[in-house]
A and B are shown apart, each in its own frame.
Chain A
Amino acid sequence: MRKPIEHLFIVLAITAAVAVMLGGCSAEQPGSVDGALRVGMVFDVGGKGDKSFNDSAYRGLLHAADQFGVEHTEFEPGQDADRETGLRKLAQAQYDIIIGVGFLFSDAMRKVAVDYPDVKFACIDFDPRPGETLPDNLAGLKFREEEGSFLVGVIAGLFSKTGRIGFIGGMDIPLIHKFEAGYIAGAKYANPAVSVTVAYAGATPQQAFADPAKGKELALLQYGRGVDVIYHAAGSTGNGVIEAAREVNRQAIGVDSNQNYMAPGNVLTSMVKRVDNAVFKTVQSAVEGNFSGGLREFGLADDGVGYAVDEYNEDLLTEEMLSVVEDARQAIVEGTISVPTE
Chain B
Amino acid sequence: MFELAVLDSALRMATPLILASLGGLFSERSGVVNIALEGILLTGAFASIVATYYTGNPWAGVFAGVFAGILISLIHAIVSIVFKADQIVSGVAINLLAMGLTQFLTWIIWGSSANSPPVQGMAHWSLPETWGPVARGVNTVIGHYPPLVYVALALVAVSHVVLFRTPFGLRLRATGEHPEAVDTLGVSVHAMRFAGVLMSGAFAGLGGAFLALNTHQFVKNMSAGRGFIALAAMIFGKWNPVGAFAACLLFGYAEAVQMGLQGQAVPTQFVQMIPYVLTMVALVGVIGRARPPAAIGKPY
Contacts and interface: CB of A to CB of B under 8 A. Distances in A.
A243 B9 CA distance: 15
Given A50-B112, A243-B118, A15 B217 contact: no
Given A200-B272, A202-B272, A217 B263 contact: no
Interface string B214-230: 11110111101100000
A220 interface: yes
A48 B221 contact: no
Interface stretch (B70-78, B134-142, B185-193, B254-262): B254-262
B244 interface: no
B68 to A, nearest CB: 19
Contact of A46 (B114, B272, B298): B114
Interface stretch (A91-99, A205-213, A281-289): A205-213
A214 B225 CA distance: 12
A172 interface: yes
A236 B96 contact: no
A200 B261 CA distance: 11
Interface in B248-300: 255-256, 259-260, 262-263, 268-269, 272, 292, 296-298
A35 interface: no
A210 B219 contact: yes
B81 interface: no
Interface in A218-270: 218, 220-222, 224-225, 236, 239-240, 243, 246, 262-263
Contacts of B198: none
A129 interface: no
B111 interface: yes
A51 B112 contact: yes
B4 to A, nearest CB: 9
Given A1-B296, A49-B113, A236-B220, A213 B13 contact: yes
Contacts of B112: 49-51
B262 A199 contact: yes
Interface residues of B, number: 49
B96 A18 contact: yes
A214 B88 contact: no
Contacts of A172: 268-269
A236 B259 contact: no
B113 A212 contact: no
A262 B219 CA distance: 13
A239 B224 contact: no
A10 to B, nearest CB: 6
B66 interface: no
B114 A236 contact: yes
B98 to A, nearest CB: 13
Contact of B224 (A18, A46, A51, A214): A214
B45 to A, nearest CB: 10
B90 to A, nearest CB: 11
B107 A49 contact: yes
Contacts of A18: 92, 96
Contacts of A221: 5-6, 9, 256, 259-260
B197 interface: no
A236 B214 contact: no
Contact of B262 (A22, A218, A240): A218
B33 interface: yes
Interface in A2-57: 2, 4, 7, 10-11, 14-15, 18, 22, 46-52
B191 to A, nearest CB: 24
Contacts, number: 124
A14 B92 contact: yes
A93 B275 CA distance: 50
B96 A15 contact: yes
Contact of A14 (B89, B115, B224): B89
Interface string B173-184: 000000000000
A211 B215 CA distance: 10
A236 B106 CA distance: 15
**Interface residue tally on A, bucketed by range:** 35 or more
Nearest to B210: A213
Interface string A40-76: 0000001111111000000000000000000000000
Contacts of A52: 114
B35 interface: yes
A49 B96 CA distance: 21
B221 A210 contact: yes
Nearest to B106: A49
A167 to B, nearest CB: 8
Contacts of A331: none
Given A212-B217, A220-B5, A243-B118, A7 B88 contact: yes
B203 to A, nearest CB: 18
A222 B114 CA distance: 26
A166 B107 CA distance: 33
A198 B262 contact: yes
A270 to B, nearest CB: 16
Contact of B272 (A49, A203, A222, A239): A203
B259 A217 contact: yes
Interface in A165-218: 166, 172, 197-200, 202-203, 206-207, 210-214, 216-218
A198 B272 CA distance: 14
B111 A239 contact: no
A200 B269 CA distance: 9
Given A207-B224, A211-B224, A213-B215, A236 B115 contact: yes
13 contacts: A2-B297, A7-B33, A18-B92, A46-B114, A48-B113, A49-B114, A210-B220, A211-B222, A212-B219, A213-B13, A213-B215, A217-B12, A217-B255
Interface of B: 5-6, 8-9, 12-13, 16, 33, 35, 88-89, 91-92, 95-96, 100, 107, 111-115, 118, 211, 214-217, 219-222, 224-225, 231, 235, 255-256, 259-260, 262-263, 268-269, 272, 292, 296-298
